[in-house]
């Protein structure tokens, strides 16, 4: 049980690193590396959080690249604003499910 509490704390720390990455982008890379390391250490509901965090990183990176590449057409600013909101919502949803000790319902989803 103590190991599970430690891993819950790590999952929470990764969500926080993702939120901090909105100001300091390097922390997202640290978060995804930790998520990969801890992904295989757990099964069940907690493992769904690490998988969700990994997908959040890669999908967020893709959305951000699309936004940056389309900034010159001005729609990129709207895409980047969407990425900001998307990241905050996904992290808040993940932390809420983590507090409930429940798995992420749609780990493979691209939206919220």
User: How many whole angstroms separate alpha carbon 86 and alpha carbon 102?
Assistant: 21
- Tell me what pLDDT residue 106 has: 82
pLDDT, tens digit, 9 for 90 and up, residues 1-33: 455 557 888 999 999 999 999 999 999 999 999
pLDDT one-digit tens code per residue, 80-110: 999 999 999 999 999 999 999 888 888 777 6
- Enumerate the domain spans of the chain: 2-99
Q: Check: CB of residue 70 under 8 Å from CB of residue 79.
A: yes
Rounded (5°) CA angle 74-83-101: 170
> Is this model's pTM higher than 0.85 or not?
yes
């Amino acid at each position: 049980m103590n190991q599970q509490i430690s891993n819950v704390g790590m999952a929470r720390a990764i969500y926080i690193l993702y939120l901090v990455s909105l100001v300091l982008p390097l922390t997202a890379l640290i978060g995804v590396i930790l998520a990969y390391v801890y992904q295989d250490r757990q099964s069940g509901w907690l493992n769904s959080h690490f998988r969700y965090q990994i997908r959040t990183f890669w999908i967020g990176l893709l959305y951000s690249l699309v936004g940056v590449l389309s900034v010159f057409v001005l729609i990129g600013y709207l895409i980047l604003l969407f990425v900001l909101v998307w990241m905050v919502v996904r992290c808040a949803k993940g932390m809420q499910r983590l507090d409930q000790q429940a798995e992420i319902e749609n780990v493979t989803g691209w939206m919220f």
